[in-house]
Structure 1
Amino acid sequence: MTNDTISKSAVHLVLAVNSIRNHITVILGIDNDQYPLWVILFTNHAKSNRVLHQIIKPKGGISKPPSTDDEKELWETFDATVLQWIYSTVTNDLLETIAEADTTAMKKTWNRLADIFQDNKNSLA
């Protein structure tokens, strides 16, 4: 969560996305080199829906943790939504590599994708 309280309109923005693939048309796969483009599309979409903090640490690296049950529930809803967006925009092979029970969008999934594609980039160089 950010230090600012998320308004109810932000919840509607996130939950109003019926098909993420209408917004992120690139399907990320382990064998393609579209990771940089996918990241641009994904982060722009997350920013426009006010959930960028779910995948990228806020400037300064510190965000205020949810303090009330309502804030925690809202954070978990945002996180699950962003996870679904990620899962819906990768190939099945990549999904099998990154999907994990009880994970978060940023900590495991987003960062794991970065590790996979950054390692591949270094290997190719």
Structure 2
Amino acid sequence: MTKYASGSGEVKDMALHPAYTVTNIQTKIRTLDGSKVTYSSWKKLFPLYAKAYKVLDHINDTPEPVDTNPGYLQWAEIDALVLQWIYNTLSDELMVRILETDTTAQAAWNKLKSTFLNNKGSRAAALEQEFTNLVDHLRDVENPITQSRLVLQMIRGLPPEFDVVGAYINQSSPSFETARSMLQLEQHKQKARQNQTYSVLAALTSVNRTPQNEAVGQRNQGQPYNNYSSRGTGTRERGFTG
């Protein structure tokens, strides 16, 4: 029976591998397009099927077997199958962005992840605009979002450094504008503390780098033997002329 090697190096029966029973991955995982199906949803769903069909080790950073492993060629076939799953569940635009020759499922998985993480700033701005438009549209149909829902939406998913102020906002239930001002103030305070830290470090670093100390250091790094000889010669000359 044909064997293949898993990412951990374990040799398994390839003929019994459940990945080969998947005839159309698109019937199980919806196509990631960034709008109807978001990356966060897709990356949660894909590993579920990868685990169910015993190929999770191809996308979870498990080291691939060395090419001298007896089952390496069979592992590579399974990996190519998983790579096809990734490509076949992406929109044409996304597939073109990560499509490469002589790559692995893990490399494609990581490249897709980087594609979305690198654009998170612009994506955040776009989502903020979409949220603003949604608020306006709900107001137009006389179903406005309440202040409390706006506040909860704003503080949801804040980074860890805003945990304290976020908890306070959640408990005090201020208006949306007040909560936003509190977050902006906290952001300014954190930035000021960071700048102050940099200033202190810079000052400590420059203590031993004053112009006088640098000049002394440069003189000391010269040729002390010649300097000493020069001073000695000068003394003897004065004694001779005197």
* TM-score w.r.t. length of structure 1: 0.81
Q: What's the counterpart of residue 190 of structure 2?
A: none
Larger radius of gyration: 2
The residue type paired with residue 94 of structure 2 is L
Q: Distance in 1 between matches of 2:120 and 2:15?
A: 36
Q: What's the counterpart of residue 31 of structure 2?
A: 27
Q: What's the counterpart of residue 104 of structure 2?
A: 104
List per-residue Cα deviations over 1:46-75 (Å, max 9, x = no partner).
Answer: 1111111111114xxxx3624655411121
| Structure (1 or 2) with the greater helix fraction | 2
Is residue 49 of structure 1 aligned with residue 53 of structure 2?
Answer: yes
Q: Distance in 2 between matches of 1:32 and 1:116?
A: 18
Q: Distance in 1 between matches of 2:64 and 2:42?
A: 28
Cα distance change of structure 1 residues 79 and 9 upon mapping to structure 2, 3 Å threshold: closer
* Count of aligned pairs between the two proteins: 119
Q: Distance in 2 between matches of 1:82 and 1:51?
A: 7
Cα distance change of structure 1 residues 72 and 9 upon mapping to structure 2, 3 Å threshold: closer
Q: Percent identity?
A: 35
Q: How does 1:65-104 map to 2 (within 5 A)?
A: 65-66=65-66, 68=68, 70-104=70-104
RMSD after superposition: 2.3
Q: Distance in 2 between matches of 1:30 and 1:15?
A: 28
* TM-score w.r.t. length of structure 2: 0.44
Q: Distance in 1 between matches of 2:68 and 2:38?
A: 39
Q: Distance in 1 between matches of 2:54 and 2:15?
A: 7
Q: Distance in 1 between matches of 2:92 and 2:64?
A: 34
Cα distance change of structure 1 residues 104 and 87 upon mapping to structure 2, 3 Å threshold: same
Q: Distance in 2 between matches of 1:82 and 1:11?
A: 16
Q: What's the counterpart of residue 8 of structure 1?
A: 13
The alignment partner of 1:7 has SS state of strand
Judge conservation of contact 1:10–1:49 (CA < 8 Å) in 2. no
Cα distance change of structure 1 residues 55 and 10 upon mapping to structure 2, 3 Å threshold: farther
